């Protein structure tokens, strides 16, 4: 977990820039130390269920997080921020991760409008394996327009047609949902948060 500033009023743009950093860094030491620091910080406040994005590293096996949770006595729901560019690397490292009582692999999906049909199918396979997926949409209006431009479908329509999101996944967004978006979301068993900022803030700092 990245230890961000304490000011919970920081704007969405700040968290978007931090998410970009998390997605493109690949350093096992940074991931290890930041995760341990985040867990210890949470324990100071009596928090034993901890979730949020972590630095991705090909050298750090997901089993590290399970063992950390078991050794310290917490529940961890953590995972990498995924983009279309790093999806294959994340899948290679995380595809065998399994959910149990102390660890839930949770992947944060960004740039949702840019995923190919094959990549959306791969995300669906992670859900089938018990992963939790959070679609982090930093500007719903912008990504809706981008999806229309690329695929001639709104983002929500396209994700729904691909069977995403569904139970086990959620959407955290900034901007506004159209009536059609809301109708589609209400028909699916997903968690929807109006504030991507607060959703990621809890992950970057503490719950």
Give per-residue pLDDT as tens, 11-55.
556 556 666 666 665 667 777 888 888 888 889 889 898 888 887
Condensed to tens digits (0 to 9), the pLDDT of residues 154-189 reads 888 898 889 887 877 888 777 676 777 776 666 665
1 part of a folded domain = no
- Looking at residue 114, its pLDDT comes to 95
The enclosing domain of 70 has a CATH number of 3.20.20.140
- Residue 133 belongs to some domain of the structure: yes
pLDDT at residue 136, as a whole number: 85
Residue 152: pLDDT above 90? yes
pLDDT digits (tens, 9 = 90+) for 54-65: 878 888 889 999
115 falls within a domain? yes
Mean pLDDT of the residues in the chain = 78
Q: What pLDDT, on a 0 to 100 scale, did the predictor assign at position 207?
A: 30
6 part of a folded domain? no
CB 92 within 8 A of CB 62: no
In a domain, 155, yes or no: yes
Under a CB-based contact definition with an 8 Å cutoff, are residues 82 and 109 in contact? Answer: yes
CA angle 39, 27, 76 (to 5 degrees): 25
pLDDT of residue 204: 35
User: What residues make up the domain containing 66?
Assistant: 12-204
- Looking at the structure of the chain, the number of domains it has is 1
Residue 4, in any domain of the structure: no
Residue 196, in any domain of the structure: yes
Q: Tokens in use for 1?
A: 């977990």
7 in a structural domain: no
Percent with pLDDT over 70 in the chain: 73
User: Quick one: pLDDT band at residue 200, thresholds 50, 70, 90?
Assistant: very low
In this predicted structure, what is the pLDDT of residue 22? 63
Q: Which of 150, 156, 188 is nearest to 175 (CA)?
A: 156
């Amino acid at each position: 977990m990245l230890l961000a500033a304490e000011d919970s009023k920081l704007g969405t743009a700040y968290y978007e820039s931090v998410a970009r950093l998390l997605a493109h860094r690949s350093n096992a030491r940074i991931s290890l130390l930041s995760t341990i620091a985040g867990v210890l910080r949470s324990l100071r406040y009596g928090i034993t269920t901890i979730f949020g994005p972590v630095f991705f590293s090909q050298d750090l096996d997901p089993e590290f997080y399970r063992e950390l949770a078991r050794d310290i006595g917490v529940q961890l729901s953590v995972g990498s921020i995924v983009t279309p560019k790093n999806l294959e690397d994340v899948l290679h490292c995380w595809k065998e991760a399994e959910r149990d009582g102390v660890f839930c692999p949770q992947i944060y999906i960004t740039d949702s409008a840019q995923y190919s049909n094959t990549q959306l199918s791969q995300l669906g396979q992670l859900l089938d394996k018990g992963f939790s997926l959070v679609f982090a949409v930093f500007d719903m209006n912008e990504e809706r327009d981008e999806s229309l431009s690329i695929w001639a479908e709104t983002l929500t329509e396209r994700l729904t047609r691909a069977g995403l999101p569904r139970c086990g996944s959620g959407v955290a967004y900034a901007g506004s949902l159209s009536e059609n978006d809301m109708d589609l979301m209400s028909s699916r068993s997903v968690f929807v948060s109006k504030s991507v900022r607060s959703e990621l803030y809890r992950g970057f700092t503490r719950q």
